[in-house]
């Protein structure tokens, strides 16, 4: 199977800090990969390189086989359209309905005036409704997004990526602000859409137990280097100690501050 996303020897420095050092990995269609590691390990920098918010100092990032550094203008916009994003804080437009938020995912596909005037073609509206249906929210289509629960808002954000027809989904701490049940629901939906649509998911997670339960594969970064890249089963207690520098303890998310001691659920 062809790789949809690949990084080869990616290095990024901020002054004296090596945020990423010789990072290489590739994602296949439909794969769900958890990106883990302590705060400051480089997870966000991976995302910034893939979205081309920053350019690596060395190495290449390829989306659907195209080196991002070789693209500009319309080609770069198209490559960015292939990469959908969801965030910890959902990033929906609160006063708009769930449907209008999903239609925003069509921005890269329709004329700008249609987006501004919210005059989307009938096919796009049908597609957006179908995407809401796939995340189990068809009945909320006309509800204001800020009246939805956090888990529902995150599912709207996933539907928006589906409407965008992205081939890669980058999820930056997508369930950190959700209760455990909602977090499970969101990650279950994420897995389903990956399997059904062949979207490759790269998901930064602080909750180690969730990484183990929902990811096919775990990539761990430590001080900008990959220290583990393997099936979720390889992310065991010994690997945890190596990555976080402390033994596994009890249930709870890995804290987001550098100095705190990670607390996680037992496998
Ligand atoms: N704009 C910047 N200027 C200087 N240093 C930066 C900048 N962005 C990131 N860094 C440094 O690069 C390293 C990697 O940061 P990054 O944000 O990628 O880590 P992270 O794994 O996403 O952390 P967290 O889990 O806390 O979000 C850190 O040492 C950070 O301080």
Number of independent structural domains in the chain: 2
Distance 14 CA to ligand 1 centre (A): 9
* Residue 259: pLDDT over 50: no
Strands ordered across the beta sheet of 168-172 = 83-87, 168-172, 200-204, 32-36, 217-222, 225-231
What ipTM goes with this model? 0.97
In ligand 1, the atom with minimum distance to the C-alpha of 45 is: 18
* Residue 18: pLDDT over 90: yes
Determine which residue's CA is closest to atom 17 belonging to ligand 1: 44
How much is the pLDDT for 13?
Answer: 97
Between CA 186 and CA 190 the distance in angstroms is: 6
205 belongs to a structural domain: yes
Using one digit for the tens of pLDDT, what is the confidence trace for 119-149?
777 888 999 999 999 999 999 999 999 999 9
Between CA 31 and CA 27 the distance in angstroms is: 7
Q: Are 68 and 78 in contact (CB under 8 A)?
A: no
Mean pLDDT, rounded, for 172-178: 94
* Residue 263: pLDDT over 80: no
* Residue 187: pLDDT over 90: yes
Q: How many Cβ atoms sit within 10 Å of the Cβ of residue 197?
A: 18
In degrees and rounded to multiples of 5, residue 46 shows phi and psi of -60, -50
Same domain? 183 vs 219: yes
Same domain? 185 vs 72: yes
Ligand 1 pocket by C-beta < 6 Å: which residues? 14, 17, 19, 37, 39-45, 256
190 belongs to a structural domain: yes
Q: Is the pTM of this model over 0.80?
A: yes
Give me the CATH number covering residue 56. 3.40.50.300
4 belongs to a structural domain: yes
How much is the pLDDT for 116?
Answer: 66
255 belongs to a structural domain: no
265 belongs to a structural domain: no
Same domain? 140 vs 56: no
262 belongs to a structural domain: no
Distance 174 CA to ligand 1 centre (A): 18
Q: Where does a domain end: 166, 185, 207? A: 166
How much is the pLDDT for 63?
Answer: 96
Using one digit for the tens of pLDDT, what is the confidence trace for 66-108?
999 999 888 888 888 999 999 988 889 889 999 999 998 887 7
How much is the pLDDT for 1?
Answer: 73
How much is the pLDDT for 117?
Answer: 66
Same domain? 85 vs 173: yes
Residue ranges of the alpha helices (H) in 4-67? 43-50
Strands ordered across the beta sheet of 66-67 = 17-27, 5-14, 58-63, 66-67
pLDDT band (50, 70, 90) for residue 250: low
* Residue 54: pLDDT over 90: yes
Between CA 222 and CA 50 the distance in angstroms is: 19
Distance 42 CA to ligand 1 centre (A): 6
Same domain? 117 vs 36: no
- How far is CA 71 from each of CA 12, 61, 76, rounded to the nearest angstrom? 19, 11, 5
User: Structural domain of residue 171, as residue ranges?
Assistant: 1-94+167-248
């Amino acid at each position: 199977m062809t790789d949809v996303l690949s990084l080869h020897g990616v290095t990024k420095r901020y002054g004296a800090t090596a945020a990423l050092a010789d990072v290489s990995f590739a994602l296949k269609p439909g794969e769900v990969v958890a990106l883990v590691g302590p705060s400051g390990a480089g997870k966000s920098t991976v995302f910034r390189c893939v979205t081309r918010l920053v350019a690596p100092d060395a190495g290449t990032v390829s989306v659907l086989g195209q080196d991002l550094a070789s693209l500009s203008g319309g080609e770069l916009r198209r490559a960015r359209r292939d990469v959908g994003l969801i965030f910890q804080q959902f990033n929906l437009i609160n006063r708009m309905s769930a449907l209008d938020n999903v239609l925003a995912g069509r921005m890269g596909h329709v004329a700008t005036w249609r987006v501004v005037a919210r005059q989307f073609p009938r096919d796009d509206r049908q597609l957006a409704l179908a995407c809401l249906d796939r995340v189990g929210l068809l009945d909320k289509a006309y509800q204001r997004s800020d009246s939805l629960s956090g888990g529902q808002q995150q599912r709207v954000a996933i539907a928006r990526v589906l409407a965008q027809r992205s081939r890669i989904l980058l999820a930056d701490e997508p369930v950190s602000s959700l209760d455990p049940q909602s977090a499970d629901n969101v990650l279950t939906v994420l897995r389903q859409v990956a399997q059904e649509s062949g979207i490759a998911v790269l998901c930064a997670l602080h909750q180690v137990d969730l990484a183990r339960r929902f990811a096919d594969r775990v990539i761990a970064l430590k001080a900008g280097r990959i220290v583990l890249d393997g099936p979720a089963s390889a992310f065991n207690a010994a690997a945890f100690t190596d990555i976080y520098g402390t033994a596994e303890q009890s249930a709870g998310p890995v804290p987001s501050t550098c100095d705190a001691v990670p607390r996680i659920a037992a496998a």
